[in-house]
């Protein structure tokens, strides 16, 4: 029997494409298990249910290999565990065909290892590119991360109070902004601000 498994990393992502592909492959709806959780761990309710459901001679079908796990080690361990139980793994949309239910096909085994390696390499490169982009943005004085939700009027009021020499305690009291917010959004006082300057603000 074929058992389908689909996964996305967050609740906001859509499973439709994977579910449609599994259905098109002839897998019954009640034999499809899903997760909306990162692949960084195998402690996923849908995956565990699929593994529990699988029996000797069954095949676990996924859209692409990276739906099973994020690292080569985890994916290899999972496939090896399934193989020991007589359960195969087949993918539907990978550029290299994978079907470990065919033990006599060395190319299928090689494709599996290669795709797992390529998937981890791409994730590593993506992480490095993101870190580099953040470093460049920070070096150029640009903020990274989520957009600020600080009230612009309150921030402008804080700037005026600071310019008039008000201490940080007075600024937080009058604007309602937290001290950490002020430190994050206001540039430091110049050195000429004198000994009365309040912690750089």
Helix or strand (DSSP H, E) at 185: helix 179-185
Tokens of 192: 């000429």
Q: Are 63 and 17 in contact (CB under 8 A)?
A: yes
User: Which of 9, 38, 126, 148 is labelled catalytic?
Assistant: 9
| CA nearest to 59, candidates 92, 82, 34 | 82
Q: In what order do the strands lie in the sheet with 88-91?
A: 32-36, 2-8, 59-62, 88-91
Which residue matches tokens 């612009």?
Answer: 152
- Name the maximum alpha-carbon separation found in the chain: 80
Q: Any catalytic annotation for residue 105? A: no
Catalytic residues, by residue number, are 9
């Amino acid at each position: 029997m074929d058992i389908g498994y689909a996964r996305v990393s967050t609740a906001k992502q859509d499973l439709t494409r994977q579910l449609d592909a599994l259905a098109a492959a002839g897998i019954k709806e009640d034999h499809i298990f899903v997760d909306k959780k990162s692949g960084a761990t195998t402690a996923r309710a849908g995956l565990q249910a699929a593994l529990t459901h699988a029996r000797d001679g069954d095949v676990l079908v996924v859209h692409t290999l990276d739906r099973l796990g994020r690292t080569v080690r985890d994916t290899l361990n999972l496939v090896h565990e399934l193989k020991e139980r007589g359960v195969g793994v087949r993918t539907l949309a990978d550029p290299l065909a994978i079907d470990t239910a065919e033990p006599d096909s060395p190319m299928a085994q090689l494709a599996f290892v290669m795709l797992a390696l390529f998937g981890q390499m791409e994730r590593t490169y993506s992480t490095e590119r993101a870190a580099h982009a953040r470093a460049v943005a920070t070096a150029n004085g640009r903020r990274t991360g989520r957009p600020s939700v600080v009230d612009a009027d309150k921030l402008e009021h804080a700037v005026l109070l600071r310019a008039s020499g008000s201490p940080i305690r007075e600024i937080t009291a009058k604007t309602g902004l937290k001290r950490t917010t002020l430190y994050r959004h206001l540039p430091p006082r110049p050195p000429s601000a004198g000994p009365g300057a309040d912690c750089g603000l």
